[in-house]
């Protein structure tokens, strides 16, 4: 009986409700970003945000299905699921540091004499795990948002050139077309033929 009283966001509005679940922070950001001043603005704002939501759901589904195909020994600490697991990462870092400390404090070991090489290896491995893997998992989302921002900037630039594109409502657009006699004449000529 832990089900919410209302259906979840992704099961109501999307054609593919079972592809994946949205993260809670994404769901909250969508609900906070939607302009609720009128029904029309609420719907148009949600449609504007729906593309990002669908892309994120498909991206999460792809990552989770890829991670599910891997054997457990290849996916320690869930790094392929793009979910933060700070406790497990902290334990991994502490155990790695303790083992490194044991190797470096033995004055007769070869590793003690090669400390700079070991520290370089540690830096490379840490950078790969903490930066490269996380970067590769987040790149498609960042690229999608960047392309969307560039498309919006291009649309805004085109809107500056054409006053028709800056009009927010359909009523204003129809009034704009009706006040232009050459547009009305072209429309009449094309409808007659």
Give the model's pLDDT for residue 1: 45
Q: What is the pLDDT of residue 92?
A: 80
Considering only CA atoms, which of 123, 94, 118 is closest in space to residue 106? 118
Token pair, residue 160, equals 């500056």
Percentage of the chain beyond pLDDT 70 is 55
Handedness of CA 49, 54, 57, 62 (dihedral sign): negative
Give pLDDT < 70 ranges for the chain.
1-22, 64-85, 104, 106-113, 116, 132, 158-166, 177-193
Q: What is the pLDDT of residue 186?
A: 52
CA distances from 65 to 20, 59, 85, 87 (A): 10, 10, 19, 24
Q: What is the DSSP letter of 45?
A: H
Does residue 193 sit in helix, strand or coil? coil
Predicted pLDDT of residue 18: 54
Instruction: For residue 179, give the DSSP letter.
Output: T
Do 176 and 167 form a contact (C-beta atoms < 8 A)? yes
């Amino acid at each position: 009986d832990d089900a919410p009283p209302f259906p979840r966001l992704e099961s109501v509005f999307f054609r593919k409700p079972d592809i994946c679940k949205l993260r809670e922070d994404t769901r909250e950001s969508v609900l906070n970003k939607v302009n609720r001043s009128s029904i029309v603005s609420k719907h148009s704002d949600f449609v504007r945000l729906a593309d990002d939501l669908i892309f994120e759901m498909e991206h999460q589904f792809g990552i989770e299905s890829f991670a599910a195909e891997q054997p457990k020994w290849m996916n320690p600490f869930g790094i392929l699921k793009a979910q933060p697991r700070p406790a497990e990462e902290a334990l991994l870092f502490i155990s790695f540091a303790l083992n490194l400390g044991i190797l470096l404090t033995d004055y007769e070991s070869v590793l003690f004499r090669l400390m700079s090489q070991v520290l370089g290896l540690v830096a490379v491995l840490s950078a790969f795990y903490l930066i490269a893997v996380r970067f590769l998992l987040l790149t498609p989302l960042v690229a999608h948002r960047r392309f969307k921002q560039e498309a919006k900037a291009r649309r805004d630039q085109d809107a500056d050139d054409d006053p028709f594109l800056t009009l927010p409502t359909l009523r204003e657009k129809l009034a704009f077309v009706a006040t232009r006699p050459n547009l009305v004449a072209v429309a009449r000529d094309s409808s007659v033929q």
